[in-house]
Amino acid sequence: MELTAWRTFVTACRLGSLSAAAAELGYTQSAVSRQIAALERRLGTSLIERHVRGVRATPAGEVFHHHALVVLKEIDRALTAVRDVPLGRPLNVGATPSLAAGIVPAAVRRLVDAGGPLRWSLSPGLSADLHDRVIAGDLDVAVVTDAPPGLPHGPRVERRFLGMDEMVVVLPAGHPRAGHGPVHIRALADETWVEDNTGSATLLRQHAARAGVTTDVDLGAADLPGKVALVAAGHAIALIPGVLAHALRTDVTTVNLVDPPTRGIYAVTPRRASHPSAGPLIDQLATAFGQHRQPSPEAMGPTVPSGSHPRRDATSHMR
């Protein structure tokens, strides 16, 4: 079958419109209609039906769409692999946003300095998503954390412990606690907190629960830069990974916590790793974490379950 028609059909399904598909693909609307009609004749069934607002897949079209996505993805991967042969396949690295902001690029820099030029790519993402992309073959290495809800286990990947990262609190530059030594969470429990993901919020609540206090996460942010921006503007304070502290903007500062919450950092690779630079990169990452005092995950003991009960104080802005 002509794969151009497959791509046209998938695009029309995604956009829900033949005219929109034509505009995106650079065809006329009549050309899009002809391609899909030819595909329907080849399959002997109708794939789309028209309605007032555009088009949608028929039941047969939904089945074909599922398989078409798989086929087209594999074809694109095959074409990319073939094109990369003369230059060497790039090392595809994934990392959580905090690790992608500094420690992973720095490790690649040391790898290049030691071994010469390297083609590579960096994809930020959440730990669970990166883990799945390693299994799918999209990533050669994923640098992830075991922050709640933790990392899944799978027979198709290998996991190497790199170190423990101590969480710190990020404050506006003019905050009264700025410049002080380690602070107990009890001194910050009544602050307004902002979080961008459930894992970090869970670590905060677990840490507060161990100290016998509760914390309120009153603001939410879409991502890590958004969370730090709210802190910089004086709206809240936040818990962030310690590895990120050196890469923060200049209008915020950090303070360490007494007995801080921690998260384990791991490198995840396919069980049958194929890229020759994956192992050396993991060694560079392990060296970077080894330069800091980091307890092993076994020494940390079991995670204390969250038992906090939200408490609000409408009279306090910077709680």
> What per-residue confidence (pLDDT) applies to 144?
95
30-65 per-position pLDDT tens digit: 999 999 999 999 999 999 999 988 999 999 999 999
Q: Please count the helices (runs of H) and the strands (runs of E) in the chain.
A: 11, 11
pTM, full prediction: 0.62
> What per-residue confidence (pLDDT) applies to 130?
94
> What per-residue confidence (pLDDT) applies to 83?
66
Q: What is the mean pLDDT of the chain?
A: 85
Which is it for the CA torsion 204, 209, 212, 214, positive or negative?
A: positive
Q: Which domains does the chain have, with CATH numbers?
A: 3-84 (1.10.10.10), 91-163+263-300 (3.40.190.10), 166-261 (3.40.190.290)
80-134 per-position pLDDT tens digit: 766 665 556 789 999 999 899 888 999 999 988 888 888 899 999 989 999 999 9
What whole-number distance in Å separates Cα of residue 118 and Cα of residue 90?
7
- DSSP one-letter code for 209: H
| Confidence label for 2 from pLDDT (cuts 50, 70 and 90) | confident
Position with higher pLDDT, 191 vs 299: 191
> What per-residue confidence (pLDDT) applies to 259?
92
Q: What is the mean pLDDT of residues 159-169?
A: 92
Q: What percent of the chain has pLDDT over 90?
A: 58
What whole-number distance in Å separates Cα of residue 189 and Cα of residue 206?
12
Q: Which two tokens stand for residue 31?
A: 């050309």
227-238 per-position pLDDT tens digit: 999 999 999 999
| Confidence label for 1 from pLDDT (cuts 50, 70 and 90) | low
What whole-number distance in Å separates Cα of residue 301 and Cα of residue 227?
30
